[in-house]
């Protein structure tokens, strides 16, 4: 296994697929998405959607990005903003889980990011199309259903990964290497 550090992320650009860029424009035009301040908001929505829906459980659930001809973000730090270190941990954990017998590197991490961005965009488009089919004569109702689905998903996943207090009697036990680093 390879250890990824935030300093390894450098200034390599993150570029979406052309399809992910097109999907964002379509969802914005339809009013399904609020206006985003930057491209990073769209990237984080797509990637976060993949985690919330469990697409990171197996490589078979991810759709490989067919190209990198879409939206460009200057760097990992720019993409994930103030939470770039947290995102590095989350993405690295998924990368290691998906490739348990492979020594992975930074390029593998960027490939995962591209696949997650693409998969999230495609799946959000599928969700939007389903909402429109459910309410074909009422675009406002379709938008409400779409946003409610995203809100419900966020609420459902809000408690995942919470910190659990350790009982007092465990304080004296030997700490693992990972716990010592915290």
pLDDT of res. 19: 94
Do residues 134 and 142 lie in contact, with contact meaning Cβ atoms separated by under 8 Å?
yes
- The crossing angle, in degrees rounded to 10, of helices 139-156 and 106-134 is 130
CA dihedral 160, 163, 164, 170 (to 10 degrees): 140
pLDDT of res. 95: 95
CA–CA dist 97, 78 (Å, integer):
25
Do residues 117 and 15 lie in contact, with contact meaning Cβ atoms separated by under 8 Å?
no
CA–CA dist 89, 95 (Å, integer):
10
pLDDT of res. 37: 82
Q: Closest by alpha carbon to 21, among 72, 56, 62?
A: 72
CA–CA dist 39, 72 (Å, integer):
8
pLDDT of res. 160: 62
Residue 177's pLDDT band (boundaries 50, 70, 90)? very low
Angle value at C-alpha 102, between 96 and 107, nearest 5 degrees: 75
User: Is the pLDDT assigned to residue 168 strictly greater than 70?
Assistant: no
Q: Read off the pLDDT of residues 82-97 as tens digits, 9 standing for 90 and up.
A: 888 999 999 999 999 9
Do residues 93 and 116 lie in contact, with contact meaning Cβ atoms separated by under 8 Å?
no
Average pLDDT of span 114-133 = 96
Q: Read off the pLDDT of residues 3-58 as tens digits, 9 standing for 90 and up.
A: 555 555 667 888 899 999 999 999 999 999 988 888 999 999 999 999 999 999 99
Mean of all residue pLDDT scores within the chain:
83
Average pLDDT of span 111-131 = 96
User: Is the pLDDT assigned to residue 170 strictly greater than 50?
Assistant: no
């Amino acid at each position: 296994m390879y250890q990824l550090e935030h300093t390894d992320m450098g200034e390599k650009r993150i570029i979406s697929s052309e399809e992910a860029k097109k999907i964002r424009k379509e969802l914005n035009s339809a009013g399904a998405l609020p206006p985003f301040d930057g491209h990073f908001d769209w990237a984080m929505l797509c990637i976060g959607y993949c985690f919330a829906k469990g697409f990171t459980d197996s490589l078979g659930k991810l759709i490989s990005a067919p190209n990198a001809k879409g939206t460009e973000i200057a760097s990992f730090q720019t993409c994930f903003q103030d939470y770039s270190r947290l995102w590095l941990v989350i993405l690295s954990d998924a990368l290691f889980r998906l490739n348990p017998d492979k020594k992975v590197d930074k390029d593998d991490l960027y490939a995962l990011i591209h696949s997650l961005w693409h998969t999230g965009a495609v799946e959000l488009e599928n969700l939007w199309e389903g909402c429109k089919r459910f309410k074909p004569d009422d675009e406002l109702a379709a938008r409400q259903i779409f946003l409610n689905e995203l809100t419900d998903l966020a609420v459902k996943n809000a408690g995942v990964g919470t910190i659990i207090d350790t009982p007092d009697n465990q304080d004296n036990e030997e700490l693992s290497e990972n716990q010592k680093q915290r």
